[in-house]
C-alpha cells in the first residue's frame, strides 16, 4: 500500500493500521485530518443538512433528512423548470438531491401558451358581466368551459411533484422559482431550502358572481403545498409576490382580478412539519394549515406544524390560519402593514395554536386586538409576546376589543420540540438578518 492511498483511509482504519505497525504516525495524522475535512464539508453542504433533533414537529419520530444520504448518481443540478421536473421524476424513492441553480421560470412562454382554442378573455368579460349575468348564478357556458380547460393546461405545466426522501436546495444567493407550484403530496421525508419562490400568477382566474355581495375573482396555485405528506422541513426560503404584487393587478367588474392564491398550505392530513427561518412577504392569504372545516376525518390528530424564526412582512392575513392542528408558533417576527391588514393568527375549527415569544411590529392606527382572529370557537395559548418591544397579552387585548368574538385561553398542550428559543426582544434582529433565501452557502 503506498502513501497516497493511505490518505484516503478512514480515521478509524488508519488508527488500527498504526497500532499494528501498518501505518506511520504522520500518515495517521494526515488521514485523520482528511477525514475531518470531509466530515466538515459534508456538514457545511446545505444539500446534506438534516433537521436537528428536537427542532419542531418535523423532528418527531424518524425525523426529517430528505435526500441527505443521496449517492452521486442521484444528485442533480438543474437550471431550467423542465430540468427540475425531470430530476424529480427520476424513478425510485432512494434519497435524491436536486440543486437549483439560478431562477427557474415555469411560465416563460406566457399565458397564451396555455389558452384553449377559442378562449377569448374579452368575450368572457362580456358574457359574464354582472349587468348581463347577474349575481345569483355561478357562471357557465362555452367561455367558462374554455377558461377551465386553459386553467387545467396551466396547472399541468406549472406543478412540480416532489417525491419521498428528497432535498431541494438552492445554490448560492440567487436560486429560485418563478411561476411554479411545488407540490409535496402523499410522500414522506422532504427538505426544501434556500429558494426564493415567487407566487405563481394564475392566468385564468374564475369569476364567481355569488361570492359576497358583489362577486369576486378566485385563483388557483399556491407557491408550495404540503398535502397528505409527513416529515417535511421548509427552511431559509423567501416567499414573495415578486414582480406582481396585488397592487399591480387590474380590476374587472369593480373587483381585483386576483391572480394569487397562498404562499404555503399544509393540508389534507399532512403532519410533522417544521417551517423555520423563512420570509413570507407582501402577500394577502399567506399560510393556511387545514383548508376545510369538514376535513376532520383526515385532519383531526394531524396537521402538527412548528413555525419558528420566520419573518411575516406586510402580510394581510393567514400567518397562519389554523384548523385542527397542534401548531407551535414561536420566535417569529410579524411586521404588520399599515393598510389593508386583516389579522395574523387565525383560530379555526378545533385548532390548538400555541403562539409564544413572538415579536410584532404594529404601525400606528392598527388595533393590536386584530392580531388574533376568531373563526370558530377553539382555545389558544398566547404568552411572552411583544408588541413594538413591550409585553402584551394578545388574548386579553383581543377579547377587550372584540367582546363579540371572545377567545378561550389554553390550547390544551405544551410544546416540547423546541431546539432553540430566543428572547422575543432579540427576534427582530435575528430574523431580520438570518431568515430567508440566500443565507446558505
C-alpha closest to that of 229 among 58, 413, 417:
58
Contact 147, 117 (CB under 8 A): no
Task: Classify 74 as helix, strand or coil.
Answer: helix
Grid cell listed for 392: 402584551
Pair type for strands 271-276 and 251-252: unpaired
Distance of CA 340 to the CA centre of its chain: 23
Distance of CA 173 to the CA centre of its chain: 18
C-alpha closest to that of 163 among 66, 275, 78:
66
C-alpha closest to that of 333 among 358, 301, 366:
358
Q: Classify burial at 156, counting beta carbons within 10 Å of its beta carbon; exposed 0-12, middle 13-18, buried 19 or more.
A: exposed
* 268, 318, 321, 323: the active-site residue: 318
Contact 74, 47 (CB under 8 A): no
Radius of gyration in angstroms for the set of CA atoms belonging to the chain, rounded to a whole number = 25
Separation CA 134–CA 412 (nearest Å): 47
Contact 77, 171 (CB under 8 A): yes
Q: Where are the strands (E) in 249-367, listed by range?
A: 251-252, 255-256, 264-267, 271-276, 279-285, 287-289, 305-308, 311-317, 321-322, 326-330, 333-335, 345-347, 352-356, 359-361
Q: Which residues pair with 224 in a beta bridge?
A: 182, 264
Give 322's contacts (C-beta < 8 A, 6+ positions apart): 289, 290, 303, 345, 346, 347, 348, 351, 352, 353
Residue 321 annotated among the catalytic residues of the structure: no
Give 36's contacts (C-beta < 8 A, 6+ positions apart): 11
Grid cell listed for 94: 432512494
Separation CA 292–CA 314 (nearest Å): 25
Distance of CA 312 to the CA centre of its chain: 12
C-alpha closest to that of 60 among 418, 303, 301, 417:
417
Q: Indicate if the alpha-carbon torsion angle 106, 109, 111, 112 is positive or negative.
A: negative
Active centre residues (catalytic): 318
Amino acid at each position: 500500500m503506498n502513501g497516497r492511498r493511505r490518505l484516503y483511509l478512514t480515521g478509524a482504519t488508519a488508527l488500527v493500521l498504526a497500532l499494528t505497525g501498518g501505518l506511520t504516525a504522520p500518515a495517521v495524522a494526515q488521514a485523520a485530518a482528511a477525514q475531518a475535512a470531509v466530515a466538515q464539508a459534508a456538514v457545511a453542504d446545505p444539500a446534506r443538512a438534516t433537521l436537528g433533533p428536537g427542532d419542531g414537529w418535523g423532528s418527531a419520530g424518524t425525523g426529517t433528512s430528505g435526500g441527505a444520504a443521496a449517492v452521486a448518481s442521484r444528485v442533480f443540478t438543474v437550471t431550467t423548470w423542465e430540468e427540475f421536473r425531470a430530476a424529480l421524476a427520476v424513478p425510485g424513492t432512494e434519497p435524491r438531491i436536486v440543486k437549483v441553480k439560478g431562477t427557474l421560470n415555469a411560465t416563460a412562454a406566457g399565458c397564451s401558451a396555455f389558452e384553449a382554442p377559442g378562449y377569448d378573455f374579452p368575450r368572457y368579460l362580456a358574457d359574464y358581466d354582472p349587468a348581463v349575468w347577474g349575481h345569483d348564478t355561478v357562471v357557465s357556458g362555452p367561455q367558462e368551459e374554455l377558461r377551465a380547460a386553459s386553467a387545467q393546461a396551466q396547472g399541468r405545466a406549472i406543478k412540480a411533484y416532489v417525491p419521498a426522501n428528497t432535498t431541494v436546495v438552492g445554490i448560492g444567493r440567487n436560486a429560485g422559482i418563478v411561476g411554479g407550484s411545488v407540490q409535496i403530496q402523499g410522500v414522506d421525508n422532504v427538505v426544501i431550502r434556500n429558494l426564493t419562490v415567487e407566487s405563481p400568477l394564475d392566468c385564468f382566474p374564475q369569476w364567481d358572481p355569488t361570492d359576497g355581495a358583489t362577486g369576486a375573482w378566485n385563483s388557483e396555485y399556491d407557491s408550495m403545498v404540503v398535502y397528505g405528506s409527513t416529515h417535511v422541513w421548509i427552511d431559509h426560503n423567501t416567499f414573495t409576490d415578486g414582480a406582481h404584487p396585488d397592487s399591480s393587478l387590474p380590476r374587472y367588474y369593480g373587483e381585483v382580478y386576483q391572480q394569487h392564491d397562498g404562499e404555503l398550505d399544509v393540508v389534507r392530513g399532512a403532519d410533522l412539519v417544521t417551517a423555520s427561518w423563512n420570509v413570507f412577504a407582501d402577500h394577502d392569504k399567506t399560510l393556511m394549515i387545514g383548508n376545510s372545516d369538514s376535513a376532520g376525518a383526515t385532519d383531526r390528530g394531524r396537521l402538527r406544524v412548528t413555525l419558528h424564526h420566520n419573518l411575516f412582512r406586510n402580510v394581510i392575513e393567514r400567518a397562519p390560519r389554523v384548523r385542527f392542528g397542534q401548531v407551535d408558533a414561536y420566535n417569529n417576527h410579524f411586521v404588520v402593514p399599515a393598510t389593508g391588514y386583516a389579522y395574523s393568527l387565525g383560530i379555526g375549527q378545533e385548532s390548538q395554536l400555541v403562539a409564544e415569544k413572538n415579536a410584532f411590529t404594529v404601525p400606528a392606527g392598527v388595533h393590536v386586538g386584530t392580531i388574533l382572529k376568531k373563526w370558530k370557537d377553539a382555545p389558544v395559548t398566547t404568552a411572552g409576546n411583544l408588541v413594538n418591544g413591550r409585553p402584551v397579552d394578545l388574548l386579553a387585548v383581543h377579547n377587550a376589543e372584540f367582546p363579540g368574538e371572545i377567545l378561550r385561553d389554553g390550547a390544551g398542550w405544551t410544546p416540547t420540540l423546541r431546539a432553540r428559543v430566543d428572547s422575543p426582544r432579540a427576534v427582530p434582529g435575528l430574523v431580520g438578518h438570518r431568515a430567508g433565501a440566500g443565507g446558505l452557502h
